[in-house]
Amino acid sequence: MIVDAHVHVVAADRDRYPLRPGTATNPWYETHPCDADDLVGLLAGAGVDRAVLVQAVGAYSFDNTYVLDATAARAGTFASVVCTDRAAADPVGAVGDLVRGRGAGGYRWFTVGDDPRLAEPAGLWTALAALRVPVLVVCFPDRLDELVELVPRLPAVPLVLDHCGFATFERGIPDALAALAAIPTVHLKVTTEVLRAAADADEPAEVVADLMARSGGRCLWGSDWSQTHDVPYGELVEEGRRAAAGLTAADRDAFLGGTALTLWPRLA
């Protein structure tokens, strides 16, 4: 089974789901939006079985309505990852409502924007561990050393490093990324962004094989469609398949779907 672990969807119905642009990005959500109905066809055409819909903070800020509605309509095909304002009055209650009440399957700890904190609020980390959902951390390379120090002090929660922390690979696997890979609760999300950064320095398949070895197989692939849209969706899928070419059959299955299924078992 192939699982695209990183897809952003934007509703065609702007009246029901108005855009609420957040952290400044390029306006991909206006120039190249993809709604859930279109995504279903793209997945089928590319031989992808499941997808994880990750809250598009650039398009909707902390309004998770569309990602949750799209997932509820196709619960066997999609899982959802939400993002909330951690500086709000009750961040713990807000996340609990989304997970228990709306079926959210993960939380996006977004540090690129107005709230750069990794460790706080500590109560939210505790709540997420109790909710037993994966936490996707979004940070830039300059925060990876901080994350290495933080993770062993956190409650036991499956942690996914989105885009491998936007690391570069000119000198091989960065030390901080290697240290994170060695922590048993950490999973490395290898998106198209990562594969292209790897291509600037080495063969992507070699970098993926190294990351898989260092992480004990806890890597998962995601396209980043449609924020990444310079080629058709099917070509992004092929980039992922080519990047897995140097893996054993078991590791290839884990990279392209199996690791994601351990994090989002309802997709199985």
Q: What does DSSP assign to residue 115?
A: -
pLDDT at residue 23 is higher than 70 = no
**Amino acid residing at 247:** L
Q: Could you tell me which of 233, 190, 195, 220 has the C-alpha nearest to residue 46?
A: 233
Give the model confidence (pLDDT) of 153-173 as tens digits.
999 999 999 999 999 999 999
Give the model confidence (pLDDT) of 176-225 as tens digits.
999 999 999 999 999 999 999 999 887 999 999 999 999 999 999 999 99
Cβ-proximal residues to 49 (8 Å cutoff; 6+ apart), any chain: 1, 2, 3, 43, 77, 257
Angle, alpha carbons 194-171-110 (nearest 5°): 40
User: What is the rounded distance in angstroms from the CA atom of residue 195 to the CA atom of residue 239?
Assistant: 8
Give the model confidence (pLDDT) of 96-132 as tens digits.
999 999 999 999 999 988 799 999 999 999 999 999 9
- Please state the domain count of the chain: 1
- Residues 49 and 268 sit within 8 Å (Cβ to Cβ): no
Q: Could you tell me which of 99, 174, 167 has the C-alpha nearest to residue 139?
A: 167
pLDDT at residue 22 is higher than 80 = no
Q: What does DSSP assign to residue 82?
A: B
| pLDDT of amino acid 242 | 97
- Residues 172 and 197 sit within 8 Å (Cβ to Cβ): no
User: What is the rounded distance in angstroms from the CA atom of residue 150 to the CA atom of residue 74?
Assistant: 36
State the average pLDDT over residues 249-265: 98
Domain that holds residue 182: 3-265
State the average pLDDT over residues 45-70: 97
State the average pLDDT over residues 224-234: 97
Residue 142 sits in a domain of what CATH number? 3.20.20.140
Global confidence as pTM = 0.97
Give the model confidence (pLDDT) of 131-144 as tens digits.
999 999 999 999 99
Cβ-proximal residues to 141 (8 Å cutoff; 6+ apart), any chain: 165, 166, 167, 168, 174, 176
- The overall average pLDDT reported for the chain is 96
Q: Which backbone phi and psi does 223 adopt, to 5 degrees? A: -80, -30
| pLDDT of amino acid 26 | 80
Cβ atoms within 10 Å, residue 90: 10
- Residues 218 and 188 sit within 8 Å (Cβ to Cβ): yes
Cβ atoms within 10 Å, residue 76: 10
- Residues 94 and 57 sit within 8 Å (Cβ to Cβ): no
User: What is the rounded distance in angstroms from the CA atom of residue 124 to the CA atom of residue 138?
Assistant: 16
Cβ-proximal residues to 8 (8 Å cutoff; 6+ apart), any chain: 29, 34, 53, 54, 55, 56, 59, 224, 225, 226, 227
Half-sphere exposure of 203 (CA within 13 A, CB side): 9
The DSSP bridge partners found for residue 186 are: 159
Sheet holding 186-191, edge to edge: 107-110, 135-138, 159-161, 186-191, 219-222
